[in-house]
């Protein structure tokens, strides 16, 4: 059974801080790992990672995958209150259906 574990469960920081969110996984026939940001409603896509060691970057957010150690991290630098959200990690196996298995999420709160 595929499994995704995120840590920490929740995090409170102040604006300007840098945070690192963790995602470890066990999946049969790994295809990709995805990060989503969920504010009040539906999750929105951040990154898809398929190869080890290649950093994906979007503004202050970046993410990297380690397929040997089976984890990924999501970094947010110079955090802003608008970064407050639940961050979800998901893994996609090879095969039909493209089923995603999600982790429990990390709830990030950024205080002014």
Q: Does 82 bind other proteins (CB under 8 A)?
A: no
CA dihedral (12, 14, 15, 19) positive or negative: negative
| Interatomic CA distance for residues 104 and 88, integer angstroms | 7
Q: Does 4 bind other proteins (CB under 8 A)?
A: yes
- Number of helices and strands in the chain (H, E): 0, 11
DSSP assignment letter at 2: -
Closer residue to other proteins (CB): 19 or 89:
89
Which one of the spans 40-48, 52-60, 65-73, 77-85 is the region binding other proteins (CB under 8 A)? 40-48
Q: Does 9 bind other proteins (CB under 8 A)?
A: yes
Residues that bind other proteins in the complex, under the rule CB under 8 A: 4, 6, 9, 31-32, 34, 41-45, 48, 88, 90, 92, 96-105
């Amino acid at each position: 059974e595929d499994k995704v574990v995120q840590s920490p469960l929740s995090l409170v920081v102040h604006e300007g801080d840098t945070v690192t969110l963790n995602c470890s996984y066990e999946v049969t026939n790994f295809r990709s790992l995805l990060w989503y940001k969920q504010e009040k409603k539906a999750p929105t896509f951040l990154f898809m990672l398929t190869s080890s060691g290649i950093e994906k970057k979007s503004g202050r957010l970046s993410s990297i995958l380690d397929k040997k150690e089976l984890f990924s991290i999501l970094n947010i630098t110079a955090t802003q209150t608008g970064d407050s959200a639940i961050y979800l990690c998901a893994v996609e196996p090879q095969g039909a259906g493209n089923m995603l298995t999600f982790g429990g999420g990390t709830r990030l709160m950024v205080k002014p």
